Amino acid sequence: MTSSIAESQQGMKQYGKEQPEISQCLSPGRIGVGLNVTSKKRLLERMAAILLKDSTNINRDTVFQILTERERLGSTGIGYSVALPHGRVNGLDKAIGAVATLAKPLDFDAIDGEPVTLVFGLLVPAEANEEHLKLLAHLASMFSNPELRTKVMAAETPSEIYHLLTEWKPKTSTTT
């Protein structure tokens, strides 16, 4: 994980302007609203379970271990009350995403010191280096948008969150 949203957005420029389609890795079934968790460990356990809702060929304990090991390298709390726990998984065919809003803010050792209320978990195939970076950069760009964050946190259903995230497009700058 890059250390800041700005670095992630810079990474997006490095890998081209082609935007990953969040709908390719996210489904309404992998979205949790108002999760009650009391620690970072419990949150990562819940995210591992949510990430694997539609998948039976990957072990939940393995995913939890991957997310935990990545978190030990440095917090995936990117600021703005958002965390992007992620990891690479052997045997995965395509990227899998999951989203959760939290009932109460949770200390996540985020880069800005703020507690987390919105989490997007991401698993990618072990060999998908460029895809992994593109998705992380796209997510960082999405969640740097205060209007989107506010709408996602106010959403009451997985379907609402799914539509907000899959229909979001970055604003393009115009030159005159």
* 3-class DSSP assignment, residue 124: strand
Q: Which of 86, 132, 138, 163 is catalytic?
A: 86
In what helix (H) or strand (E) does residue 77 lie, and over which residues does it extend?
strand 77-79
- Tokens (6 digits) for 64: 């939890």
What backbone phi and psi angles, to 5 degrees, belong to 116? Answer: -100, 140
The residues, ordered by sequence, that sit 6+ positions from 106 with a Cβ below 8 Å of its Cβ are 37, 38, 39, 40, 43, 115, 116, 117
CA distance 147 to 170: 12
Give the residue from 86, 103, 114, 105 showing the smallest Cα distance to 34. Answer: 103
H or E element in which residue 153 lies: helix 146-154
Q: Is 86 a catalytic residue?
A: yes
Give the separation between CA 102 and CA 105, rounded to whole angstroms: 7
Enzyme catalytic residues? 86
